[in-house]
């Protein structure tokens, strides 16, 4: 299990590193730059997310046990909102249809408002990773991916889909959310379960999905950035 945990962090780091190299070496579009910034943010969030473990492990940090830093729910809840909004707006940026763009714009606004209301009127923000926003967010991301594939199938992009970074992002993000969202739905069950078997299965699925997603991102960046002209 420790191997999978380290592997997903390595996969995340490699994706961010390859992304940074690509935007330095190649002439990429602005949305690709934002995507790389998102990868860097994701890596930083997961590094900071280890703080509760460090607080429990090291006595020198015991003074933080009664602070909000002792839990990382607030961090990952905030990141979940940012991540879902990013993917929706990322796919929206590549769509040609004004109708599709308008739909995704409205969905993004509704999701953001729902997120704020959920955090204000429930106690989940500092306590537990919210399943409500993950479910709604996954639904919106799948709609975004569907719009992207629909336009791709109706255009000449289908002939060169393997050179399109957005294709790899769509595959990675959609598979990840489809695999991970059920884990959030039954998160309370896993939390209260006395069987470590279910917890282990949950971690295996989660880490494997993360590794798959960032591997897709890395492959996409490596294959697609080469078509751009070097500075």
Q: What is the pLDDT of residues 61-104, one digit of tens each?
A: 766 776 777 788 899 999 999 999 999 999 999 999 999 999 99
pLDDT at 231: 39
Mean pLDDT of 193-198: 61
Average pLDDT, integer, range 110-119 = 95
| pLDDT value for 1 | 63
Encode pLDDT of 5-63 as tens digits.
788 899 999 999 999 999 988 878 899 999 999 999 999 999 998 888 888 777 777 66
Instruction: Look at residue 176 in the predicted model and tell me its pLDDT.
Output: 96
The stretch 125-129 carries a mean pLDDT of 84
Residue 186 has pLDDT above 90, yes or no: no
| Per-residue model confidence (pLDDT) at position 230 | 44
Average pLDDT, the chain: 87
State percent of the chain over pLDDT 70: 90
Sign of CA dihedral 50, 127, 68, 122: positive
Q: What is the average per-residue pLDDT within 164-188?
A: 88
Q: Label residue 95 left, alpha or beta by phi (over 0 means left) and psi (-120 to 50 means alpha).
A: beta
Q: Report long-range pairs for 96-104 (Cβ below 8 Å, ≥24 apart).
A: 96/151, 96/155, 97/147, 97/151, 100/147, 100/150, 100/151, 103/143, 103/147, 104/140, 104/143, 104/144, 104/147
| pTM of the predicted structure, to 2 decimals | 0.91
SS3 228: coil
> CB–CB of 88/144 below 8 Å?
yes
The pLDDT assigned to 155 comes to: 83
Q: Does 203 have pLDDT greater than 90?
A: no
Helix (H, G, I), strand (E, B) or coil at 104: helix
Q: Tell me what pLDDT residue 169 has.
A: 97
What is the DSSP secondary structure assignment for residue 67, as one 8-state letter? Answer: S
| pLDDT at 116 (0 to 100) | 94
Query: Average of pLDDT values for 178-189?
Result: 78
């Amino acid at each position: 299990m420790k191997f999978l945990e380290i592997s997903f962090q390595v996969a995340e780091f490699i994706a961010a590193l390859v992304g940074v190299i690509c935007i330095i070496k190649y002439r990429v579009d602005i949305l690709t730059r934002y995507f790389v910034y998102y990868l860097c943010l994701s890596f930083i969030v997961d590094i900071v997310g280890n703080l509760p473990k460090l607080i429990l492990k090291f006595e020198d940090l015991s003074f933080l046990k009664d602070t909000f830093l002792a839990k990382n729910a607030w961090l990952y809840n905030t990141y979940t909102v940012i991540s879902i909004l990013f993917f929706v707006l990322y796919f929206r940026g590549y769509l040609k249809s004004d109708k599709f763009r308008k739909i995704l714009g409205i969905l993004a606004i509704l999701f953001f408002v729902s997120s704020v209301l959920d955090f204000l009127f429930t106690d989940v923000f500092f306590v537990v990773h919210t399943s409500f926003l993950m479910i709604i967010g996954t639904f919106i991301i799948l709609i975004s991916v569907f719009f992207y594939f629909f336009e791709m199938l109706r255009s000449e992009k289908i002939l060169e889909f393997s050179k399109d970074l957005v294709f790899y992002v769509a595959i990675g993000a959609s598979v990840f959310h489809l695999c991970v969202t059920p884990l959030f739905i039954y998160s309370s069950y896993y939390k209260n379960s006395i069987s470590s078997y279910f917890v282990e299965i949950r971690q295996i699925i989660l880490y494997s999905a993360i590794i798959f997603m960032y591997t897709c991102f890395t492959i996409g960046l490596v294959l697609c950035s080469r078509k751009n002209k070097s500075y």
